[in-house]
Amino acid sequence: MAVWAYGRGSAMGEQGLASDDVAKRAFDSYVAGLSALDPQMIAAAFDESGELEDPVGSRVRHGRDEVAQYFSEGLCSVALHVEIEVVFAHACGGSVAAHWHMRAVSSSGAMAKIDGIDVVKVSSEGLILRANGYWDQSAFRKALSV
């Protein structure tokens, strides 16, 4: 499998955007919130005016309240347990692109395994400005029987 990454990594980051290290820490905070199934922890990784399009093609959520509500009514309401393995994450230009595997178990015991890619843009303050998720939501929901 070939992995391609384009862009420039900068220790200082573009004006207003995070350095590579700060961007990776922000992404790690986001994944930690998802793994904990904690909508408030997930939302705290976002800037006050941050945006979430997850999966891409769905309605864009604006701000921490909408992000928290999306996860509260979605993943956090249907999954009893999740494990997320980040296969590869590359930071450059204030963004992180990451390939991940998720295993989720519903309260009824149904299990879902999915792969996805997230692309997040992070501010110099270490908060997510925009997150785009690429994954098959309908297959995930079907596997969890929701």
Q: What is the CA radius of gyration of the chain?
A: 15
Residue 23 CA to residue 11 CA, distance in Å, equals 11
Strand partners, 95: 92, 121
Q: Is residue 7 pLDDT above 90, yes or no?
A: no
- Give Cα 66 distance to the centre of its chain: 14
Are 95 and 127 spatial neighbours (Cβ–Cβ below 8 Å)?
Answer: no
| Residue of 60, 42, 44, 64 whose CA lies nearest to 52 | 60
**d(C-alpha 70, C-alpha 88), whole Å:** 25
Q: Which residues partner with 50 through β-bridges?
A: none
- Interval 81-122: pLDDT, tens: 999 999 999 999 999 999 999 999 998 999 999 999 999 999
**What domains lie within the chain, and their CATH numbers?**
20-143 (3.10.450.50)
Provide the pLDDT for residue 107.
87
